[in-house]
């Protein structure tokens, strides 16, 4: 069974204070690793897909990286609008469902 | 273009009642997925459709849960004899085809009293 563990559960940052979120995973053949952002009361919003170890993707202040066992989401010089829960999910080669972690809730104070 | 839409946005029902939750996927997307999210947890997979057929229903918790997609577009998740433990946010996602990026709707918040 595919498993995803995210840490920390919560992260409080000062505006401009860079940090990283961790996503550790086990999967029987990785099809893709996905990062989503979820605001309170909303559905998950797609951010990135990573397919193979060594791959990196960037969007504004966010950068996602992937190894064979974990992924990191780096937030550089965050702003209050980056406050959200960040979800990591894996999709294995056996099926098409996403297996999610519990998320990391990021709060950025001005 | 329009994203995934779900109705109703909120549903309050009594234990033992029947409920239907509706999902309208992004136009042209052939794959549709249902997930359930409890407070403080990530979404959990329920069922996935490719076209009209349920390709994987391994996440449905028991036979009180059923979903259909008769014309390969709109899907309805049906829950019979609701229980308080069914209270959660039910999320729908769609993708261009299986294996492509899944885009989520806003969810239906179900509360069973």
Domain architecture of chain B: domains with CATH? 5-112 (2.60.40.10)
User: In this complex, which of B42, B101, B107 lies closest to A102 when CB atoms are compared?
Assistant: B42
Question: Hey, what CATH topology would domain A3-109 get?
Answer: Immunoglobulin-like (2.60.40)
Minimum distance, in Å, between the CA of residue A102 and any CA atom of chain B: 4
CA dihedral A43, A59, A94, B22 (to 10 degrees): 20
- Residue B108 has a CB neighbour count (10 Å cut-off) of 22
Q: B70 is written with which tokens?
A: 């008769």
pLDDT tens digits, A51-88: 999 999 999 999 999 999 999 999 999 999 999 999 99
Q: What is the spatial distance between Cα A95 and Cα A63, in angstroms, rounded to a whole number? A: 27
Nearest CB neighbour to A101, from listed B42, B45, B103: B42
Question: C-alpha dihedral over A70, A84, A59, B37, to 10 degrees?
Answer: 60
B34 interfaces chain A, CB cutoff of 8 Å: no
How far is the C-alpha of B89 from the C-alpha of B39, rounded, in Å? 8
Q: How confident is the model at residue B17 (pLDDT cuts 50, 70, 90)?
A: very high
pLDDT of residue A26: 96
Indicate the Cα dihedral angle A26, B104, B7, B67, nearest 10°: -40
Question: pLDDT per residue over A14-53, tens digit each?
Answer: 999 999 999 999 998 999 999 999 999 999 999 999 999 9
pLDDT for A93 beyond 60: yes
pLDDT in the model for residue B38: 97
Tell which of A44, A90, A102 to mutate to test the B interface (max B CBs under 10 Å).
A44
Q: Which two tokens stand for residue A97?
A: 């469902």
Selected residues 77-106 of chain B with any CB under 8 Å from a CB in chain A:
91, 98-99, 101-106
pLDDT at B42: 98
Give the mean pLDDT of A84-95: 95
List of chain B residues whose C-beta atoms are within 8 Å of the C-beta of residue A100: 42-44
Residue carrying the six token digits 């449905």: B60
Mean pLDDT value across residues B29-36: 97
Q: Chain B residue closest to A44 (CA)?
A: B104
Q: How confident is the model at residue B2 (pLDDT cuts 50, 70, 90)?
A: confident
Average pLDDT, chain A: 97
Q: Over 90: is that where the pLDDT of A1 sits? A: no
* 3-state helix, strand and coil shares in percent for chain B, rounded to the nearest 5: 5, 50, 50
Q: What local confidence, expressed as pLDDT, does residue B1 receive?
A: 57
pLDDT tens, residue by residue, B47-99: 999 999 999 999 999 999 999 999 999 999 999 999 999 999 999 999 999 99
Task: Give the integer Cα–Cα distance in Å for B50 and A105.
Answer: 33
Contact B45 A4 (CB under 8 A): no
Q: What secondary structure, in 3-state letters, does A8-63 show?
A: CCEEEEECCCCEEEEEEEECCCEEEEEEEEECCCCCCEEEEEECCCCCEEEECCEE
Which 3 state secondary structure label does DSSP give A74? strand
């Amino acid at each position: 069974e595919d498993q995803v563990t995210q840490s920390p559960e919560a992260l409080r940052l000062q505006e401009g204070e860079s940090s990283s979120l961790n996503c550790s995973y086990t999967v029987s053949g990785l099809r893709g690793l996905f990062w989503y952002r979820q605001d309170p009361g909303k559905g998950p919003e797609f951010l990135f897909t990573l397919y193979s170890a060594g791959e990196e993707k960037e969007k504004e202040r966010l950068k996602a990286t992937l190894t064979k066992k974990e992924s990191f989401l780096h937030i550089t010089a965050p702003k209050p609008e980056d406050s959200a829960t960040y979800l990591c999910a894996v999709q294995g080669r056996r099926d098409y469902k996403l297996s999610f972690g519990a998320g990391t809730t990021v709060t950025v104070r001005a | 273009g329009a994203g995934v839409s779900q109705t109703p946005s909120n549903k309050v029902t009594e234990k033992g009642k029947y409920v239907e939750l509706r999902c309208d996927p992004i136009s042209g997307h052939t794959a549709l997925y249902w997930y359930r999210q409890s407070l403080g947890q990530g979404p959990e997979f329920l069922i996935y459709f490719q076209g009209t057929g349920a390709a994987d229903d391994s996440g449905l918790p028991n036979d009180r849960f059923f979903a259909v997609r008769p014309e390969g577009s709109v899907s309805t998740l049906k829950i019979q004899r609701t229980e308080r433990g069914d209270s959660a946010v039910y999320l729908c996602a769609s993708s261009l085809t299986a294996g492509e990026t899944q885009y989520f709707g806003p969810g239906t918040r179900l509360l069973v009293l």
